[in-house]
Structure 1
């Protein structure tokens, strides 16, 4: 069980971000500790994607701070946060369709190791065993030589997870990890993610619209509405919270 005094792996304090006259995130705070699986939920326009972008460095907040293991990374670019242990997958698959699944992961490992002027040239000669092991971990051991573009949507998301793991992350951020998947694919994807979390003790922060996935997978849920955190608690606490129910206009939580 996480100690209340343990240093957060990732923390955000009073983040605010505005675009012209619209404030997408206002004073949002969060702490993620080792071993946690934390979901961010909220209605459309709640600020979930902007909040995620502030945590990963794709956007810089107008005010507030972001820390990784206590280090202030508020103005650090994404690649420097990756080197501190943060990895992110995106809602839209970002793998290279013409490269094989194995080559995609080899490239990710080479880039993480900064083996770089022509990183792919190095990737095809190195890290094959490591890449193959990561693909086995996400259930793609029998498809490692297939071009990524030929994989099913669910398998591409699994490949993206393997690429995210190639940097040996200490925290994993997932943007709608099961988006576009069927029920069976979603269950398989969550099984792989859960196994990886247990094996490596990597905390996960994820955004998800499917409430059945959120309540079956998350150990804690953060609810955003109009850019503000209105609830931060266990699935049972969130399910019972009247304000959360009001925000979702009676949706079945």
Structure 2
């Protein structure tokens, strides 16, 4: 029987897996368990500029608005600037920015992440339905057609770079031992970029047997044909409307 203590330890471990730090051309990219309305986890960048430690959101929140077709109007910009001031940040060059001291860096990282989320939250002013539900719809379909006991949600998988990715749905074999498929959802251009990077990194690992990598995309998404071709280089690309055909076949394999 799971005790309250063991449950707390498992929950803490699961939450820690949502935090990831990776060095990139931008600086140190820190992924945090703060979520944009489209379901993506917020990532902020820690870098040095003119001898000071700067934390910013890389313009990711503004890009989330752009990929959803939402323009930052003067009225919206004024609202974002007011929100940034509330968090002790600046909204400059489409980025949420704050300077950090060495001893308060972790707190500033968390503050900038939450401030960045308020930018993307402007999506909720223009979209009646929450945008983050598509990923959950995909996971629910996988469970429905393959069987819930064979599906692990947000399972951590490590790529060749050493980066850990939380896969939306990992499908296990019928013996519930080994993964046979990694399934992710894509709703917009930002999702295309992230999933390509994720699946490319994972594809460089030598798994035996190699799990199938599947991208499920929204039929109504404003994706270009070129975006789908790029994803096909690292995955099997499936329309959401074809989910039943694809996964019922997997259930019988």
TM-score normalised by length of structure 1: 0.25
TM-score normalised by length of structure 2: 0.25
User: Quick check: which one's strand share is greater?
Assistant: 2
The structure that has the greater radius of gyration is 2
User: Quick check: which one's helix share is greater?
Assistant: 2
* Bigger relative contact order, structure 1 or 2 (CA pairs below 8 A, ≥6 apart): 1
